[in-house]
Amino acid sequence: MAAPAAPAAPDPDGVLVTSRPLDEYCGLFGLTRAALAAVPGPVLDCPAGAAGLAAEARALGCHVIATDPAYALPVPEVAARALAARASMAAAMAARPALYPLPQHRPYDRYLRSWDRARRLFTADTERHPEQYVAAALPRLPFADGTFALTLSGYLVFAYPELFDLDRQVAALAELVRVTRPDGEVRVHPLHDGAGRRCPHLDGLRHALGERRIASEVEVFARVEDGRSRRVLVLRAADHRRRTAGSR
């Protein structure tokens, strides 16, 4: 494993600025490249960090808008924070291997090199397409209702319970649904915190979302790397789900 790089200044809110590539997004959210290519409209990545998704998805004909509060910073500082997050991930994988695919399924150094490539893609793409990178933070986003056909939210709402209590989780998830088309969906992963502890009030949260006319389900699928399960919270406008079910 590569030696950890010298860390940048810590993020004010303690959230890591990660740099995940497109294929990792597919694995996290139960998607494929073909599924992304077939999305009938723009995709929101919130929070996006220094990911390569917007740049890589463009080659598939998929238009991604990335949003993150870190984008208020100069791009080199965002990249520096992502490099520090890489070092944090390297340390976490060594300290808590049970939370990650075993090295024989996905060698750690190869995995982290994919982050390096994504970070470089992000840095170059923000210069070429700055309009696709919007500085914003949940639970308030600067987009009109129903803007996106698909919304992805990784490693935030449940990963940092010290920042998102139940009320703020509900507000953040409702905001993601608001900016998503009625016939689209929001996919959220993971449903646990950084130590692997599952959200203890998921049922109550889903009930609160239902009161806001937001339908939810937990999709469980096997990880490609090792067959262990992965859980994704899928959210949709409840009225649309009923209309779709009634038309069958």
Summarised one tens digit per residue, pLDDT across range 204-217 is: 999 999 999 999 99
Single-letter amino acid, residue 143: F
Alpha helices in the chain (DSSP H): 22-29, 33-37, 53-58, 75-95, 108-128, 166-178, 202-211, 238-246
Q: What is the pTM of this model?
A: 0.89
Between β-strands 214-222 and 180-189, what pairing exists: parallel, antiparallel or unpaired? unpaired
The 3-state DSSP class for residue 207 equals helix
Residue 225 pLDDT level (bands cut at 50, 70, 90): low
Residue 26 burial (C-beta neighbours within 10 Å; 0-12, 13-18, 19+): middle
- Please give the torsion angle defined by the CA atoms of residues 134, 195, 117 and 15, in that order, rounded to the nearest 10 degrees: 30
Contact (CB, 8 A) for 74 and 180: no
> In this predicted model, which residue has the larger pLDDT, 115 or 226?
115
pLDDT at 66: 98
For residue 200, say if its preceding peptide bond is cis, omega within 30 degrees of 0. no
Angle at the Cα of 158 (from 113 to 57), degrees rounded to 5?
Answer: 45
**Are residues 66 and 48 in contact, defined by beta-carbon separation less than 8 angstroms?**
yes
| Sheet with 64-67: strands ordered across | 133-134, 64-67, 43-45, 148-154, 180-189, 229-237, 214-222
Count of beta carbons in the 10 Å neighbourhood of residue 144: 9
The arithmetic mean of pLDDT across residues 227-238, rounded, is: 90
5-43, pLDDT tens digit by residue?
333 333 546 899 999 999 999 999 999 999 999 999 999
All structural domains of the chain, each given as residue ranges with its CATH number in brackets, are 22-246 (3.40.50.150)
pLDDT at position 115 is 96
Mean pLDDT of 59-65: 97
